[in-house]
Amino acid sequence: MVDIQRIQTFLCAAESSSLTEAAKQLHLTQPAVSHQIKLLEQELGVKLFTRGSGGLKMTEAGELLLPWARRLLHDVDDMKDMMSSTQDVFAGELRIMCSTCIGKYLLPQLAARFCRRYPKIKVRILACGPERTALRLLEGDAHLGIVSHETNDKGIESQEFFEDKIELVIPANHRWAGRSSIEPSEIIREPFLLREETSGTRWVMLAELSKFDIRLEDLNIFMEIGNAEGIMEAVSHGHGISFVSELASSHLRELGRVVRMPVDGLNIKRTIYMVRKRISAPHRPRDVFWSFVHAPENAELLRRK
């Protein structure tokens, strides 16, 4: 049977590309780390690393083992959590994959409330591209995911997390700043700051603008920026206008550096979802958080826009 400690040693060495760093993380000596890896290589009958002047490098066998090693250690952690749950103790680790930028504005606050109520549960919030969230859940890398649209994967179930409002923001000194609203057609004449292609904000914005016969190629794209914070900084310095979540713009609006500009006939909203694996072993921290999200005491936080 494969020794779990050897798998953990392999994973630390693989992720750090350094025996020295792996030794520090595991509180072992470097020779002890080397010995553990050598025993694992003998047990599996393959070479997992090559060592040279450039440092530690995984072989093809090592690359193949890496995801299995991660999954095995996650399964061990989940098994320990499940055993703890039989003692009516809410303990263990909860890994939440957040693939939408806007999720990070509310998720840490909600997770902090959860940790105060269940102090023996350790929450880890992990970043992930939207295209990989379902896969990471199915592979066991995370227990929950936050996404900007529902998934069609039958192995995943979802619930509404919160409703996000998307607004047009402009520099505080923009010539429109004194107006109560603008027409949709006026947008196409302004330098526009666009989110990346995988952004949920971009998808819903283009869908709504299409109702006014405004397409992506009609916009005067000045720059494409891959996160809401970068968009807001660019807007605040007068480089263009953009559609962003009301949550993402709140800080700079409070500072008076940007203002929201209503667009006649445009009311852009999207639902942010929480997802989990549909069929899986019981995991108390995951299932408790799933219910905790919509506890009455969190209603005010989730309504905040």
- Whether 51 is in a domain gets the answer yes
Interacting residues of 170 by C-beta distance below 8 A, sequence separation 6+: 176, 177, 235, 241, 258, 259, 260, 261
- Whether 207 is in a domain gets the answer yes
In what helix (H) or strand (E) does residue 8 lie, and over which residues does it extend?
Answer: helix 4-16
Tell me the C-alpha distance between 160 and 153, whole Å.
Answer: 16
Tell me the C-alpha distance between 81 and 19, whole Å.
Answer: 30
Domain co-membership, 156 together with 168: no
Tell me the C-alpha distance between 19 and 57, whole Å.
Answer: 11
Domain co-membership, 216 together with 290: no
Tens digits of residue pLDDT in 180-204? 999 999 999 999 999 988 888 899 9
224, 196 Cβ separation under 8 angstroms: yes
pLDDT score at 305: 43
- Whether 83 is in a domain gets the answer no
- Whether 291 is in a domain gets the answer yes
Spell out, as residue ranges, where the chain has pLDDT lower than 50: 305
Domain co-membership, 175 together with 261: yes
Domain co-membership, 114 together with 100: yes
Tens digits of residue pLDDT in 239-263? 999 999 998 899 999 999 999 999 9
**For the domain that residue 57 is a member of, what is the CATH number?**
1.10.10.10
Domain co-membership, 169 together with 259: yes
Total domains present in the chain: 3
Domain co-membership, 113 together with 45: no
Beta bridge partners of 271: 163
| pTM for the model | 0.65
Domain co-membership, 29 together with 61: yes
**For the domain that residue 279 is a member of, what is the CATH number?**
3.40.190.10
Domain co-membership, 157 together with 173: no
61, 132 Cβ separation under 8 angstroms: no
pLDDT score at 85: 56
Domain co-membership, 169 together with 212: yes
Domain that holds residue 283: 88-162+271-303
pLDDT score at 67: 84
pLDDT score at 88: 57
- Whether 242 is in a domain gets the answer yes
The total of other beta-carbon atoms located within 10 Å of residue 59's CB is 14
